[in-house]
Structure 1
Amino acid sequence: MVLSGPLGPSLAPAILKTRGLYRWMKPIADWYANLAGYRKVGYKYDDLLVEEREDVQRALTRLTPREAYDRQFRLKQASHCSVLHDVLPKEKWTKPEEDVRYLKPHVENVEKEALERRAWDNMVLSKK
């Protein structure tokens, strides 16, 4: 079963449902995330979402003050690393267990609300 998302088809739901396939793919996914290098500058995966998207903008307003502060700190820290053309010391890298999807639930809620709003806006009333 391949579901389509905003970036195209995804095999993730099928992989997550099958325990054996998940155990086989997890080391490859961890290796790829480490290869991407975003954890070496302190980012979490959701820090890489394109902020110019309207749904992400609305989701960012729903973060708790602590989550918003932590996000800004990570963005400034990564920007500093970029200016220095260096990465953080290894003890400051984002660990895989810390790399949780903190923004994705908010983005999904915004998308669901937008779909519901479109459904209600397109409702046709008829007289009986």
Structure 2
Amino acid sequence: MTIAGPLGVSVASTIRRNRTLYAWLKPVADWYANAAGHRKFGLKYDDLLVEERPDVERAIARLTPREQYDRAFRFKRASQCSVLHDVLPKDQWIKPEEDVRYLKPHVEDVVKEDLERQKWDNIEVKRTR
């Protein structure tokens, strides 16, 4: 799920560690997130993940009932905006500090479990004498 460089190090973690690089790229990242427009419809970034993927489906099932309710509410509100061909009032937009990755940790856990399951399923037992 993370973009890794040639040495297997996450690009995002490298940028966060380098203060100068972070200072240069953070405004661009903020601009891009605002330009994407999902916050104007009341959606968080993780709401945009494709639900038809098996790992995302299983991750959504792991959300708490409150998180599932909030997610459904955000989708209904965004659908209403789509029908009206309008965005939410500015005071109802998702603020950058509210736009946290609530689903990504669950997706990463599902992927790790799948990899572990695959390793165990493909294990070869050799008989020694």
Quick check: TM above 0.5? yes
Partner of 1:114 in structure 2? 114
Partner of 1:28 in structure 2? 28
Q: Does the CA contact (< 8 Å) of 1:46 and 1:103 recur in 2?
A: yes
The aligned runs of 1:19-98 (5 Å cut-off) are 19-98=19-98
Following superposition, which runs of at least 4 residues in structure 1 exceed 4 angstroms of deviation?
none
Moved more, 31-40 or 11-20: 11-20
Partner of 1:12 in structure 2? 12
Letter in 1 for 2:42: G
- Root-mean-square deviation (Å): 1.3
Q: Post-superposition shift, 1:19?
A: 1.9
Q: Post-superposition shift, 1:18?
A: 1.5
Letter in 2 for 1:34: N
Separation of aligned partners in 1, 2:124 and 2:17: 39
Separation of aligned partners in 1, 2:17 and 2:54: 31
Partner of 1:3 in structure 2? 4
More strand by share: 1
Unaligned runs of 5+ in 2: none
Aligned residues: 122
Unaligned runs of 5+ in 1: 5-9
